Structure 1
Amino acid sequence: MFLGTHTPRLDEKGRLFLPAKYREELSGGLVITKGQERCLYVFPMAEFQRITEALRAAPVTDRGLRAYSRVFFASASDEKPDKQGRITIPPALRAYAGLKRDCAVIGANTRLEIWDAQAWESYLEAEEPAFAELSQEVMPGIV
């Protein structure tokens, strides 16, 4: 489970230090791909394989699923952290998420999300006021 917010910086080669507390879990490999709201999703390899199997089992006749799968898989990049815990974010994914230097890496349960730091702050500013109300609609009986 991934939790918390971390604020690493991209270096000039497009590399990012993974939060130290997640390096062991991600040391065997991970997949970075486009996420919603112009962030990047980072999945441990096992979680990405689980998602792949679920999408494989879904009907290809579903237009929305086909469209989602195309973007999701076409933009995916499998990476292995280096000995210092850095991953290289491919240029196309950096451009998609608007990543320049300051980033926010947030825990999102089974994945990490990488955001441009300013985009993350803007997202929080817009979404936090409705947080309490959303819990009633999105998670009835869970929280």
Structure 2
Amino acid sequence: MIPVKGEYKHSIDAKGRLAMPAKLREALGEHFTVTKGLDGCLAVYPEKEWEALEDRIRSLGNGEKARRVKRYYFANAFDAQLDAQGRILIPANLREFADLQKDVVVIGQLDHAEIWNSEKWRAYNEEIDAESIAADVDDIDF
């Protein structure tokens, strides 16, 4: 698998279309899934990674927490395919969820990408510094 990495500033047009960064297209493939992500962004999963996520979620069973996770990811997911200009149409409900207006940032997350409102992404990054990352690395036994 090609790692999904980098930060790319893009715009969503008036019809809700986003040109996926050319450097991410190979990593994401021709078909990928977009759904609600964590932290108020959208998550973009290459086909193989989405299948792995499906398997993990399927293994959770049908308890209350498992049902919530299934609903969160699957009720909001759509299969995306690039048009001839390399764009995807992001449904209105997902644009609203992530507060995607015009300026967005697409970032790589190793096994998937995220689509962020550019201001939310800027604010998120302002809260992170090397010391907090070092503490996180210690906490997760990296």
Would the TM-score normalized by the shorter structure come out above 0.5? yes
Tell me the number of residue pairs that the alignment of Structure 1 and Structure 2 aligns.
139
Deviations 1:7-58 (A, max 9, x none): 0111111111111112234342111100111100000122111111221122
Which is helix-richer, 1 or 2? 1
Q: 1:30 aligned to 2:32?
A: yes
Query: Which residue of structure 2 aligns with residue 77 of structure 1?
Result: 78
Q: TM-score, normalised by structure 2?
A: 0.91
Contact 2:4 2:27 in 1 (8 A): no
Q: Which residue of 1 aligns with 2:48?
A: 46
**Greater CA deviation, 33-42 or 123-132?**
123-132
Runs of 4+ in 1 over 6 A off after TM superposition: none
Give how far 1:69 is off.
1.1
Q: Which runs of 5+ in 1 are unaligned?
A: none
Separation in structure 1 between the aligned mates of residue 16 and residue 61 of structure 2, nearest angstrom: 37
CA distance in 1, matches of 2:111, 2:26: 15
Is 1:12 the equivalent of 2:14?
yes
Q: Is the 8 A contact 1:27 1:81 kept in 2?
A: no
TM-score (norm 1): 0.91
RMSD over equivalenced CA pairs, Å: 1.3
Q: Who is 1:131 aligned against?
A: 133
The match for 1:100 is: 101
Contact 1:31 1:44 in 2 (8 A): yes
Identity of aligned residues (%): 35
